[in-house]
Homo-oligomer: A and B are copies of this chain.
């Protein structure tokens, strides 16, 4: 059994991404098309938003897999606000998870929101007309405007290969690139070459499983794939006692610019924005408000300052003061 807890052997043993060549070409074309100077004069910014949970197959011909809970709501909502703020967005998302502009639609909205009229033509049910027209209208606008690229994944193998490829492609935009890593990424997995080939049989009593740790790719992203990009990672916990401590650890260990910490029970109402100097809580004031609107406003400003400070050589302390000042004014 190969331990495969280091990045090299993870990629060496992973099943290769399907259509890797075509997907890479699409990403590079999207970045080239969107990295022209923006209206304000500077280079247009591009953000890679990751969203939804990754799966870990337990069998090569996969029947069973371990999944990570994530509706993808945060990533979808954030994508909408990044687009509104003028970013081009590469939306790396779990297949079937929540999509931008569709957050207010129920699971089987396709069946619930339409009916067939007397002439056998499909029409939007009157009661849902407004919400459906808004969703489809805004989505079509983003796609037609060429500012949104959607890349789906299911397994941890697909996710990390996509992330690596997007990071390599985004290196051309340097400081103007952002990684907003909201996906719920598996911590444990079964290396492909030590995986059962067939469905595990259930006749023999309890099942004992040993899972390896997924290599910590945030380090690799920061140090090798995207050393210049502005990087935001997320920390989701269920236990409030360890949340901020874990976020601090992630910030320092992986050299993230910002860690967004949240609890499963309250992730729609409250996040803690953790930087090197500060921990600030952003709370939603009323139910119809999107927490993501505030988060993305803050990140856009922090990203501006990051680009400014790195371009103009202001020192790290000054930059961090700039960032923390703004968080205070917003919180």
Q: Mark A residues whose CB is within 8 Å of B.
A: 55, 58-59, 61-69, 95-96, 99, 101-102, 105, 107-111, 114-116, 120-122, 124, 129, 132-133, 135-137, 139-140, 184, 186-188, 197-200, 202, 205-213, 236-239, 264-265
Contact = CB atoms under 8 A, between A and B. Distances in A.
Q: Is the interface of A mostly helix, strand, loop or mixed?
A: mixed
Given A65-B66, A65-B67, A206-B188, A122 B108 contact: no
Contacts of A198: 237-239
Contacts of A212: 206
B209 A61 contact: no
B188 A207 contact: yes
Number of copies of this protein chain within its complex: 2
Given A63-B184, A116-B133, A187-B202, 19 more contacts: A58-B66, A63-B69, A64-B67, A64-B68, A64-B69, A64-B186, A66-B67, A96-B96, A109-B110, A114-B132, A115-B140, A120-B133, A122-B129, A122-B132, A198-B238, A198-B239, A199-B238, A208-B208, A208-B210
A198 B237 CA distance: 8
Contact of A202 (B61, B102, B114, B213): B213
